[in-house]
Amino acid sequence: LLPFVIGIVGYIAFHIFEASKFCFEPTIPPRLFSNRTSFAAFIVTFLHGMLTYWVVYFLPVYFQGVLLSSPTRSGVQLLPTAIVLFPFAIIAGLYTTKTAATWSFMRTFGGIWGVSIPAAVFNNKFNTLIHKISDTATRGRLTSGAAYQHASGEFIASFPPELQSAVTDTYVGSLKMVWQVSIAFAILGFMISLMEKEVKLRETLETDYTLKERKNAKSKDTRAD
């Protein structure tokens, strides 16, 4: 809980500094959030980045800790998700480099929370369910955040069948809570997206460069006359 509190306080302090006169080139200018559509889009970008990392980090725990897949098999099982996620992430990255660094920052910042929040949920839930495991030595190996790193078919298969069932059930209950919390964030993102207003994009591009070209063309025609 303490790291989350420190993170939230630090995030608030960051925005206070960004809005102050001491920050000459803010990463997230406050003016970007003055518009309802921009505000909603940034929050949705943050949540999308968070949930992307959420899935990528905890699906392998399910594959290896519950289905008892090998690391290689787990990678193959994750492949359909990666095929959908990462090409679009690359396209979005190329696009945001041409628009604003704020989008990239919000997505990356969301990814940080997309690892820390589910990890905290998973570890806390695992500690509350660990009483299902009767063996004291096994409980000691899986407490204090160690359950994530031990989520492998090889590790769980090393126990007797009765103990395997208890360990697997504990993983199932912990992951269930992780996915339930992720659904709550996904619903939040959907609700916030309804705040966005449709903005019709311009179909023509007018720049100073184009104006200069027109002036140069007129001057050449004048000289020719």
List, for residues 121-176, the tens digit of each pLDDT value. 999 999 999 998 888 888 988 988 889 989 988 899 889 888 999 999 999 999 99
Local structure of residue 31 (DSSP, 8 states): G
- What does the pLDDT average to over 18-44? 81
Question: What tens digit of pLDDT does each residue of 192-213 get?
Answer: 988 877 767 666 656 555 545 5
Query: What is the spatial distance between Cα 119 and Cα 125, in angstroms, rounded to a whole number?
Result: 10
Give the global pTM: 0.77
pLDDT over 70 percentage in the chain: 82
Type and span of the H or E element at 141: helix 136-142
